[in-house]
Structure 1
């Protein structure tokens, strides 16, 4: 009787077999072309998706992660960014007001990453999450430009200055983003700096560079791409959520489970949204979901490559579909054009994936 782990591995190998092999060019498909799909997304889709999102996840400016039953800087930043894209200044202001009041409480100038309604005080960890701060700053820059607000721009500049002082650290690969100002340096871990490559929000860097040119954002981007290329673990050639970078090549960090999971699934979205067209980086992610067989995407145990649980939620499929578009201009599956709110995280990634495709790869729509 085959074990669950062997069955999972068989699924992963099946996924790998139905996409172009790692490092090989995409193959042209013979035979008649499928019927053409209508181009683009319906007018007003983002505004409608945003209104539904607010109804499900936003409470007086606080974005609720309903699965983890917390609010966090990442969620505030994502929601602010979607609000700007949807042109909702009232919603943006409400979320930014709550974020500023409740999370920016530390002298570091960075947002506390975790807030719990049932706790007293509500902030249960004042350490920051660097991706959350980047998302908030990026949203403020976009809002400042859209609505001609110097106040938003000044707030973004202050956050970027704090990031430059506290979480951008030297590394052999170049300047890197520590995931937080506390707890991730070489002094904290025996296997070196502990990094999270999904915190490299690649589509934000050009905008951040325009406002804070004194920070080497080009170097930060280059280090992220280099580390991603060096962090290919197991037969699926995927990065772990958390890597350690010491004197040896990158490896899954000892302080965290060695798996590709809910953090690293964002990496292909950010690569595609920034239009970083490097097939060798994108191709491993394309194997995470086979839409024909409706398999995946999966959490992957590293370095064995065994499939664990399925990443639940349509939004994770949308991320993989975005990678396939950037890799081979594969059209978006019809089922992914409709956003139906589920849990906070996959719903957020679904909306962001469609925004990225609309901005960067409209031909896939």
Structure 2
């Protein structure tokens, strides 16, 4: 599958209104935070993630597809290593990433590397969310380990994101999902889950460049305008019309709230933008009393649900979202569903990081298991 049409191999009435102007100036904590609960023993840890998914040379390996590694996995692992003050792992992961994925003429990362193609990049296009997470991990690490010279690397990569991936479309400042394959005559394709808001806001502060804040503000508005179906959920992929900036679902790829869009509330909760007006649709969906189980996805054209329960990573994000919205995770349907694979493990650990860094409470994964 080409990254130009989306990366993840998973599987109609919009509710629109004006986003309150006060949201853009909202402080990080706007309301009492609900606790995520007490962690039970035996839950996923960063050490366990490293042991299972990070090779000795620093490659993040998904056992379900061990022949492929992605810039997304490398960048997320760097964020996790920095958060856990794991300098040794950070160095290994960074070294592999720079050696294997930094092969483009710019400072963006190639999104996919394959063992079965001879240990080479087989698609040099980038994945912008991974680039943002990569830059943010370097920026965070430069503060934790200031002698490692990482700030300059972060700033240089950020400059290429700004130069190559930002577009003015119908009055909106839009973040392209990749440098190639997303711009068309009448519309531009965007992925709402690629807006890593805390990273954008951090870059705005670190670089003293309001372009990053404006991009985040426009991304927040895009999310508000991209609400579809019974629960007013965000699609995996959207189209932004060049003429007027209208947001619509991308046919065939963007008609579900699914494995991409599930990261939207995660990234909102990690930022000052995780307000009730932004998070309530997700919280309402996940606590709908008509659900016999926690859905892994929903069709935004007919409100259909996945025929199986969501896995632990999605459950962790749901738990985090409820806490960020001031609700109790006890309102979630019973657990079950997909196993704790690479993707769910990464999402669960990221939710744990968000819980710790925002003061929401203990690890979302561990709370969601109670």
Matches within 5 A, 1:164-183: 164-183=162-181
1:160 paired with 2:166, answer no
Q: Distance in 2 between matches of 1:268 and 1:344?
A: 20
Aligned to 1:194: 189
2:146 is paired with a residue of what secondary structure?
coil
Relative distance call for 1:309 and 1:216 in structure 2 (3 A) is farther
Matches within 5 A, 1:126-165: 126-149=124-147, 151-165=149-163
Q: CA RMSD, aligned part only?
A: 2.9
TM-score between both structures, scaled by the size of structure 2: 0.79
CA shift digits 1:36-60 (9 cap, x unpaired)? 98976699x99x8111101110112
The answer to whether the 8 Å contact 1:198/1:241 transfers is yes
Q: Which sections of structure 1, spanning at least 5 residues, go unmatched?
A: 1-35
TM-score between both structures, scaled by the size of structure 1: 0.80
Larger radius of gyration: 1
2:131 is paired with a residue of what secondary structure?
helix
2:297 is paired with a residue of what secondary structure?
strand
1:238 is paired with a residue of what secondary structure?
coil
Out of 221, 226, 235, which is 2:230 matched to?
A: 235
Aligned to 1:61: 58
1:85 paired with 2:114, answer no
Aligned to 1:107: 105
1:216 is paired with a residue of what secondary structure?
helix
Count how many residue pairs are aligned between Structure 1 and Structure 2.
322
Aligned to 2:17: none
Q: Distance in 2 between matches of 1:40 and 1:204?
A: 29
Aligned to 2:47: 51
Q: Which sections of structure 2, spanning at least 5 residues, go unmatched?
A: 1-33
1:308 is paired with a residue of what secondary structure?
coil
Q: Distance in 1 between matches of 2:196 and 2:147?
A: 23
2:262 is paired with a residue of what secondary structure?
helix
- Which 10-residue stretch deviates more, 113-122 or 198-207? 113-122
Q: Distance in 2 between matches of 1:122 and 1:302?
A: 37
Aligned to 1:286: 283
Q: Distance in 2 between matches of 1:37 and 1:78?
A: 25
Name which structure has the greater RCO, CA cutoff 8 Å, separation 6+.
Answer: 2
Shift of 1:321: 1.0
Q: Distance in 2 between matches of 1:201 and 1:38?
A: 22
